[in-house]
Amino acid sequence: MCMKRYPLVLKIFLCICISLLFFSCMSFRDDGTISFEAKLKKIRQIENHGVGRNTEYSAYAGGKNVRERKTVAFSLKPEEEITFIAFIVENDTHPDKGRGEIRIPVSDFSSRETKTVRVSVEVTENDPPKKGKKAVWEFVFEVTRGK
């Protein structure tokens, strides 16, 4: 009689173990974010009509500071946007500043897709006698969506 119950007990035990394993794995699932890597490929001056050349820059992709030819990693939720921000500061007695920004929805990226994003930054000279003259820089980012 015991032998006939053993297969039933074994089946129940295996069902319980498999259920526990399944539900414990469910609790460790990912948080629903999508991973990205962004690289600041290059910064170049497109035009200059009188703004000084002594400049500093800063750039951000996905909220992370990124330097030229360097890569940063970040994760975002599917309903969020990737923000690319670029700053230029011309260093003279009256510093001139410029800022550019582009936002791209995460949903615009398919899996493992790489896109090139260009952000333009315009700086207007504020130091006489060249006041009002402009210069434009282009920041080129390359962003790749992970799995």
pLDDT tens sequence across 47-85: 999 888 889 999 999 999 999 999 999 999 999 999 999
Handedness of CA 90, 67, 78, 26 (dihedral sign): negative
The span from the CA of 61 to the CA of 39, in Å, is: 8
| pLDDT score, position 9 | 58
Residues 59 and 106 in one domain: yes
Residues 130 and 94 in one domain: yes
| pLDDT score, position 14 | 56
Residues 5 and 51 in one domain: no
Cα of 50 vs its chain's centroid, Å = 33
Sequence-ordered alpha helix ranges (H) in 48-138: none
Match 């921000």 to its residue by tokens.
Answer: 85
Residues 15 and 86 in one domain: no
Residues 64 and 129 in one domain: yes
For the sheet with 81-90, list strands across it: 64-65, 55-61, 81-90, 96-105
* Domain housing 7: 1-30
Query: 42-46, 94-98, 102-106, 125-129 — which is least confidently predicted?
Result: 125-129
Query: 19-28, 49-58, 127-136 — which is least confidently predicted?
Result: 19-28
The answer to whether 112 and 105 are in contact (CB under 8 A) is no
Residue 95: give its domain's CATH number.
2.60.40
Residues 58 and 22 in one domain: no
Residues 16 and 74 in one domain: no
Residues 50 and 106 in one domain: yes
Residues 2 and 67 in one domain: no
Residues 109 and 70 in one domain: yes
Q: What value does the mean pLDDT take over residues 105-118?
A: 93
Domain count, the chain: 2
The span from the CA of 73 to the CA of 63, in Å, is: 10
Residues 93 and 41 in one domain: yes
Instruction: Give the tens place of pLDDT for each residue, 24-34.
Output: 433 333 688 99
Sequence-ordered alpha helix ranges (H) in the chain: 2-26
Diameter of the chain measured on Cα atoms = 105
Residues 66 and 2 in one domain: no
The span from the CA of 45 to the CA of 146, in Å, is: 31
The span from the CA of 15 to the CA of 50, in Å, is: 77
